[in-house]
Structure formats: C-alpha cells, structure tokens
C-alpha cells in the first residue's frame, strides 16, 4: 500500500444483485434469504411486483454496478482516487439481526470471490453468526486465515442484546487476541421498534434518526458496560452514523458519569477518556457540514473516511473530492482521516510507531 493511500473504510457490496446469488447457500437458506427481499415491499418496490421487477429495482437504486461487479468497482475506485475499499454487505447482512452459521459461510465465500478480483485493493469484512458465539469465533478465524479479511461486522443490537451483553465477551476476547477490528455498523433495533410502535415513522424518518442513534447507543453501551476496560487492546469502529454528534454525545455521557456517581460500576473514568486509547474510531460522511468542528473537538486521530458507495444516498461520483473540499481541516488532518487512521484501525499501527 502506498504511503498516502486513500482508504474507504465503509463501502458496500450488493450480493443480492448478482444473478443466481442464492447458489452460495443451501437451497432452504437461499429461498429464505431471497424471501426477505422479494416479500418485503414498501422500501424500494410495491406489493405485487414480480421477482424480476424487484431485482431490477434493487439494481436501479445503486449509483453503479460496482456493488456486484468488482471490475466495475475498481474502475470507479480509480476514477475517484480510492486505493483500498473495505467492504460490508447491504440487504444481505444488514436486513436481519443475525444469520445462521451456514448463511454467514455462504456470504463470506461470495465476498471472498468478489475480493479476488484485486485482493490488494478489495478488503472483506466478515459476517458472523452472532446468535452462536462459538460458531462466530470459528467463522472469524476462517475468514481471516483463508480469505485475508480485515475485520468483522458487529451489530449495534441483536434482538434483546446490546453491545455490552456478556454473551459477546468471548467474541471480543478473540478479536482482541487476533488483533482484528470489530466494526459496529448500523442498524440498531431501535429503528425497527420505532416503525412498529409509531406507524408514521416511515423508512426515511427512522433512517435519519436511526443511523446516528445506532452509533451513539452502541458506543455508550460498550463504554458504560466496561467492554473497553475488559478488552483494552480491542479496536472498535462505529460506522455509517457520521461524526457530527460526537462532541455533544461525549459531553452528555460524561455529565451522566459525573452526575450519577455509583450508577456506572463497570468504569472508573469519564467516557470521553476511553477515546484517547487509540483504539476507537468513527466513520465520517464525505460532506458532513460539521466535520471540522467534530474532528477538532474530539481529536483528529479518531475519524476515518467512508464513501457508502454504491448506495443511493452516497456521493458518487465525487466522494473523495467532497471530503478534500472540506473547509476547516488542515491538509495533515485530511491525510490522517483518509490514510493514517484507517491503517491504525485495520492494523493497530501508525507510521509514527517505532515497531
């Protein structure tokens, strides 16, 4: 990797747009996964549409074919000036709170095939069966050793479990042992709870609120619950919620810590101090209006850059340019966000490290 490589820490693939994509799963699993898309009207298609129309709609909502065609993605990366893309799923990985071990294996096998178009530039994030922690640990090790994946996907919540639930402790311990980052990616279950409880909360309302709220809650839970104390070398990223909320939220939860002594027995220092470890990161949007303020308020070593390509609400073309045009950030701060901080998240090392 070149010295000033531009690293997209949160890009997406769209396995579900590939022809015959269910062949990577056992027949029953493939039928179930497809049903979650085809039989889920209201977001991108209307009830009663044919399967062909649903898939056409899925493809049309992306800004490029690169989500399912790695060669097209590499062309787009070249045009944008992106050297490395770290890859998460879309409907397949994000539309359920957890998946079976077999489904995770099938998805990860496909993602490995996708990344094989250029393994130096396309980096996979493993989907884990979070409902079965033993199997999740096995799959984490398999994807690292066999495929060279660079991290694992963690949900902000899973059914009634949040990120500091004791059931996740073995997973965090293994990620810490392997020195692999845990990437907490939206959505939190609070989004689905809102839609269920309040009918007027349609998709766009819960998306506007739920994306930052997912990261806010997940970070608070890991800090308040003592996860970062028990695993001081665990690297964690909170992604697709932006960063403009960070200064306010840190001040808010610090005030809770100071104002309610004894209510947080798992920690012995203010929440904001955990961000000085060098192991906690937050993904920014390229065009956040308050990015400079947030970066200068919480620290330039915490922010990593993400494109969200090729989703409909991503910036394409022009994501890198939108970030470089940000006012209020120095050239060195931009370099850190684009290069040094992502490297630190993925490897645990910075150029300044003596090692």
Percentage of the chain lying above the pLDDT 90 cut: 82
User: 37 falls in which pLDDT band (50, 70, 90)?
Assistant: confident
For the residues 46-65, what does the mean pLDDT come to? 86
Please state the separation of Cα 278 from the chain's center in Å. Answer: 18
| Domain locations along the chain | 70-347
For the residues 141-157, what does the mean pLDDT come to? 97
Counting Cβ atoms within 10 Å, is residue 224 exposed (0-12), middle (13-18) or buried (19+)? buried
pLDDT, position 42: 62
Query: Quick check: helix, strand or coil at residue 117?
Result: coil
Rounded distance between C-alpha atoms, residue 87 and residue 17, angstroms: 15
* pLDDT at 354 > cutoff 70: no
* pLDDT at 27 > cutoff 90: yes
pLDDT, position 48: 72
Query: Between residues 52 and 316, which one has the greater pLDDT?
Result: 316
pTM for this entry: 0.96
* pLDDT at 46 > cutoff 70: no
* pLDDT at 51 > cutoff 60: yes
Tell me whether strands 157-158 and 161-162 are parallel, antiparallel or unpaired. Answer: antiparallel
pLDDT, position 352: 65
Rounded distance between C-alpha atoms, residue 140 and residue 344, angstroms: 20
If you average pLDDT over every residue of the chain, what do you get?
94
pLDDT, position 96: 83
For the residues 111-131, what does the mean pLDDT come to? 98
User: 355 falls in which pLDDT band (50, 70, 90)?
Assistant: very low
> Is residue 237 within a helix (H) or strand (E), and if so which, with residue range?
strand 236-239
Using alpha carbons only, give the angle 123, 114, 214 rounded to the nearest 5 degrees: 55
* pLDDT at 196 > cutoff 60: yes
Rounded distance between C-alpha atoms, residue 129 and residue 146, angstroms: 18
Query: Quick check: helix, strand or coil at residue 323?
Result: helix
User: 36 falls in which pLDDT band (50, 70, 90)?
Assistant: confident
- CATH class entry, domain 70-347: alpha beta
* pLDDT at 97 > cutoff 90: no
The DSSP secondary-structure symbol of 95 reads S
> How do residues 272-326 score in pLDDT, each as one tens digit?
999 999 999 999 999 999 999 999 999 999 999 999 999 999 999 999 999 999 9
pLDDT, position 159: 92
* pLDDT at 29 > cutoff 70: yes
Question: In which region does residue 24 sit, left (phi positive, over 0), alpha (psi from -120 to 50) or beta (all else)?
Answer: alpha
> How do residues 207-258 score in pLDDT, each as one tens digit?
899 999 999 999 999 999 999 999 999 999 999 999 999 999 999 999 999 9
| Rg value, the chain, Cα | 20
């Amino acid at each position: 990797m070149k010295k000033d490589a531009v690293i997209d820490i949160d890009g997406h693939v769209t396995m579900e747009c590939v022809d015959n994509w269910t062949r990577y799963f056992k027949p029953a699993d493939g039928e179930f996964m497809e049903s979650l898309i085809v039989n889920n009207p209201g977001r991108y298609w209307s009830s009663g549409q044919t399967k062909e129309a649903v898939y056409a709609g899925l493809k049309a909502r992306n800004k490029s074919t690169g989500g399912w065609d790695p060669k097209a993605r590499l062309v787009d990366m070249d045009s944008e000036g992106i050297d490395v893309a770290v890859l998460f799923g879309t409907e397949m990985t994000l539309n359920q709170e957890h998946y079976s071990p077999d489904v995770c294996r099938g998805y990860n096998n496909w993602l490995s095939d996708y990344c094989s178009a250029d393994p130096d530039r396309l980096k996979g994030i493993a989907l884990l069966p979070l409902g079965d922690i033993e199997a999740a640990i096995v799959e984490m090790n398999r994807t690292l050793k066999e495929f060279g994946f660079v991290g694992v996907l963690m949900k902000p919540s899973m059914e009634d479990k949040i990120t500091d639930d004791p059931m996740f402790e073995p997973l965090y311990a293994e990620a810490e042992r392997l020195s692999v980052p845990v990437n907490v990616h939206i959505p939190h279950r609070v989004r689905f709870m809102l839609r269920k409880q309040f009918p007027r909360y349609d998709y766009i309302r819960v998306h506007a609120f739920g994306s930052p709220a997912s990261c806010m809650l997940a970070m608070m839970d890991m800090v308040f619950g003592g996860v970062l104390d028990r695993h001081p070398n665990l690297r964690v990223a909170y992604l697709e919620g932006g960063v403009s909320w960070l200064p306010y939220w840190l001040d808010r939860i610090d005030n809770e810590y100071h104002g309610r002594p004894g209510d947080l027995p798992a920690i012995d220092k203010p929440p904001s101090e955990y961000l000085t470890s060098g192991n906690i990161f937050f993904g920014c949007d390229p065009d956040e209006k308050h990015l400079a303020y947030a970066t200068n308020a919480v620290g330039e070593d915490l922010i990593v850059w993400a494109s969200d390509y090729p989703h409909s609400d991503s910036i394409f073309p022009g994501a890198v340019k939108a970030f470089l045009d940000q006012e209020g950030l120095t050239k060195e701060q931009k370099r850190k966000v684009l290069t040094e901080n992502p490297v630190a998240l993925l490897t645990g090392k910075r150029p300044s490290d003596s090692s």
